[in-house]
Amino acid sequence: MSERIAHSGLKNKVMTADEAAQFVNHGDRVGFSGFTGAAYPKALPTAIANRAREAHERGDEYAIDLLTGASTAPDCDGVLAEADALRFRMPYQSDPEMRKKINSGAMQYADIHLSHSGRQATSGVFADIDVAVVEVTRIDEDGNLVPSSGVGNNVEFLDQAKKIIIEVNSWQSLDLEGMADIYRVQPKTPIPITDTGDRIGTTYIDIDTDKVVAVVETDSPDRNSAFTPPSETSEKIAGYFLDFLEGEVAAGRLSYDKFCMQSGVGNVPNAVMAGLLDSKFENIKAYTEVIQDGMLDLIDAGKMSVASATSFSLSPDAAELMNQKADHYRKYIITRPLQVSNHPEVIRRLDLISSNGMIEADIYGNINSTNVTGTRIMNGIGGSGDFTRNALVSTFISPSIAKDGDISAIVPFASHIDHTEHDAMVIITEQGVADLRGLSPRERAPKVISVAHPDYRPLLEEYFEKAQTGKHIHTPHTLSEAFSFHQRFLDTGSMQK
């Protein structure tokens, strides 16, 4: 048995995943660890999926409600969705199989602000949790859990759950111990973080060991997506983002020293971080959701002094590096409970600049982050609302077109709105920067249209001009044509005329 289980009582609870899955029953509300493909349970999902399949073959019902930190992986969300093992899922997912099930109507999905998700699990909305299934790198002699590659909503799920199943994953480095900073948000008490790197809690999660019904040993990697080198478009967007930062410095609103960033996940953010490597910015700090490859590069280059997040989202190469050098990186990296990493209080206090991706923006700066043509969920809002609303400056970064130009990221009216005109401050595409701060809707539209792809600009200008001939033009619209881009895409496969 693994020496990673130091608590004698919990050693006696070691069993196979199939045995442990017997504690997860039809109708249960289950909280999983897992955030952006890191730290999710590796064995229980397949075992639960098998139970579901067997039940369905017998003609019995079997479906659970699944809560996580955020997205997991094909061997977690994927296998459960394929087996029709889920009735309901919250608060964020990005799995192709699960997406199909949600969009076909086969399962329910509540797309919730991540900062709300843990709070709803303690304040009553989702408080009735039957089982928590949490991956750890080690259980100490007192039964405390040492988080693996992320924290997410683990604390809330472990506190609320009636039964606990622990997966001890020996693939995860033991040197991750010390990276996590576990703090429970206290009623009517300020969160005592005043700088990005502040540690305010413990390196482990204390639990009620009497609730543990099973411990399962695993040795499986996180879902680490291969790193794609930045495209020409990503590099252009990153260039404009850096130009924007330089402009903020020139205007006296930002300093080259100790700039604090939040960054969404993906190709463009990694290009931004590559750009920061060669920039004048020093002692960069990240107060963000996930640790990405680009942050490790910035740390290695001595450009980033601290990165605070709730989880990793690394390429296989970077994950390998982390597993070898966790004792080094934990000097620079803190993983916090999602309730802390995404808390409005701390985000606002740190005066950070946020950058997140989007599906589309409308000409007045309303942002769709989630539903293609208003109906088809892609992933979810995640923490983009937490950071956008509370950042000192919120930016959205995206290529101006998708699908070889058949989709424009700038549209007359966003077909779903996740961030309103009151929240989005700056929109950046490979066409340039639209700084919308302090502007009325009619002042914003030409700026937003200027960062649309040239193929779409005339159509957008035409819409905006016609809309201004309407009777009321605080927010000029011709409602009968507001979704014309989307309708054309649905009818012809392209938003272009």
Residue list 173-192, contact with a second copy (CB under 8 A)? 187-192
Among 133, 161, 237, 482, binds a second copy (CB under 8 A): 482
Answer whether 91's CB lies under 8 Å from 117's CB: yes
Tokens of 412: 């007359």
Residues in region 403-442 near a second copy by CB under 8 A: 413, 415-423, 437-440, 442
383 is in an annotated binding site: yes
Answer whether 200's CB lies under 8 Å from 193's CB: yes
Tokens of 62: 């079997």
265 is in an annotated binding site: yes
Please, what is the minimum distance in Å from the beta carbon of residue 385 to a second copy?
Answer: 6
> Which residues, at least 6 apart from 293, have a Cβ–Cβ distance to it below 8 Å?
227, 270, 273, 314, 315, 317, 318
For a second copy, give the closer residue by CB, 75 or 435.
435
Please, what is the minimum distance in Å from the beta carbon of residue 274 to a second copy?
Answer: 27
Answer whether 295's CB lies under 8 Å from 313's CB: no
379 is in an annotated binding site: yes
Contacting range for a second copy; rule: CB under 8 A; set: 143-151, 155-163, 215-223, 388-396: 388-396
Q: In 33-117, where do the E strands start and end? A: 64-67, 86-90, 108-109
Contacting range for a second copy; rule: CB under 8 A; set: 76-84, 175-183, 319-327, 468-476: 468-476
Among 160, 366, 398, 429, binds a second copy (CB under 8 A): 366
Among 453, 265, 226, CA closest to 361: 453
Number of chain positions touching a second copy (CB under 8 A): 83
268 is in an annotated binding site: yes
DSSP-assigned beta bridge partners for residue 432 = 429
**Coil, strand or helix: which one is 284?**
strand
Tokens of 458: 């005339």
Main-chain phi, psi angles of 25, to 5 degrees: -105, 160
For a second copy, give the closer residue by CB, 202 or 468.
468
120 binds a second copy (CB under 8 A): yes
Among 375, 462, 493, 497, binds a second copy (CB under 8 A): 375
Return d(Cα 191, Cα 144) in angstroms, integer: 23
Residues in region 318-357 near a second copy by CB under 8 A: 343-345, 348-351
Among 24, 70, 83, 90, binds a second copy (CB under 8 A): 90
From 289, 360, 421, 430, active-site residue: 289
105 binds a second copy (CB under 8 A): yes
Instruction: Reply yes or no on whether 289 is catalytic.
Output: yes
Q: To which residue do tokens 């897992």 refer?
A: 34
Residues in region 194-223 near a second copy by CB under 8 A: 194-195
Return d(Cα 32, Cα 69) in angstroms, integer: 7
Contacting range for a second copy; rule: CB under 8 A; set: 96-104, 163-171, 225-233, 315-323: 96-104
Question: Amino acid identity, residue 113?
Answer: H
- Residue numbers in the known binding site for CoA are 264-268, 359, 379, 383, 403
